[in-house]
Structure formats: structure tokens, C-alpha cells
Chain A
């Protein structure tokens, strides 16, 4: 069965410090992996994706993520957090055969000034 796990419900980080939001997945075959951000009462905004190629993917707003096949992980990272990065972050996976996305439970990121 396809699944995505975000082990941390909440991540707090001081402004200017690096941040990491964790994601692990379970999917048959090679996955398509995505990160989305959601602000209160808003839809999901696309941050970045991994389809193929370089394992380090760079996305919007200075975010990046590294696809690690051996650890089945796709952690989201940013070198220097901003207060405006505070939001809810979702990892999602889609297997290459199907059309359905599987979302993690979300991680609430709070950047402390």
C-alpha cells in the first residue's frame, strides 16, 4: 500500500536557523514526490517535486529537498528560516502507475522571531 509519513506534527525553529521537515514514503516502484505548503484557510501551494534525475531538488522560496532512495525519505530543508515560513507543510507521493496522490498528515512549522 502507498503511504506517506510525516513523523513530526510540529516543528519549531528560530528565525535564521536551518529547518528540516521530515517525510518518509512507502510506494511500489519509483515515486513522484512533492512538497506543498498551506497557509490558514488557503489551498495548497506547490513548493517542489522530485520526478527523476538529481536527488537534490530546489524549489520555491529557498526550499530544497533531498530524495534518498535507500532511506525512502524526502526531507524538506531550508538553510535559513523566515518567520513567514510558518505554515503547514504536506509531503505527498504519487506512484508512476496511478494518478492518485497520497498525503502525509502534515507538519506545522513555527519560526520563532
Chain B
């Protein structure tokens, strides 16, 4: 149980375009979802925390107008990178927590974004 999926696993887009990444909790309802960014050989950097039906809370230094997060249901959160630039190329990982197990996070497999 507690499986989190991400789609797509890899995406290549042109500079200036927008790309949407989906994060789904497959077998549980996620009270909270988290979005992380990971640069090569570096740790995970928390970008934002989202709760279903409310606005996401962004970490300091993360542009909320550039990284749009929508948590429309208890099983789906989306991250949209708007007007992508090559420096946005990274590995994006989402995670989710569930009721009664809030001390744990369940991680998705990640999405490799390459902006050309």
C-alpha cells in the first residue's frame, strides 16, 4: 500500500513553454503532498507543501508564479513549471502523507525535466 505515482517520468520541453507534472496517490487519500527538487548528486530541496483545496505553501526562494501547484483532490497534485528555462532542468520528486500516518511520507518515482 501507499503507492505514489508521477507522470511523466521524463519530459523534454523547449525554453519558454510550460510543462505539467502530475503526482497521484494510488491507494490512499493524501492529506498533504510535497514537491521537491533535486539537482545532480545533491539532496532534496523542498519546494512547497500543498493541502487539498487550499493554496500551497512555498519555501523561501521558490517562485510561486513560476512553479504553480494545484492540489485539486485528495489523490492528485500537479506542478506546472511555467515559461521554463534551461536552469529549471532538474529532477522533481513528489511525496504524500496520509491520515493516521502523518509522520511518514511516501515518495513518487520522480520526473526528469530537461529544458532545451
A contact set with B: CB distance below 8 Å = 32, 34, 36, 41-46, 49, 51, 88, 90, 94, 96, 99-101, 103-106, 108
Contact = CB atoms under 8 A, between A and B. Distances in A.
Contacts of B41: 88, 106, 108
B109 A43 contact: yes
Nearest to A45: B107
B105 to A, nearest CB: 6
A36 B93 CA distance: 14
Contact of B43 (A41, A45, A51, A104): A104
Nearest to B105: A101
Interface residues on B, range: 20 to 34
Interface stretch (B11-19, B62-70, B74-82, B96-104): B96-104
A90 B44 contact: yes
Contacts of B6: 43
B43 A94 contact: no
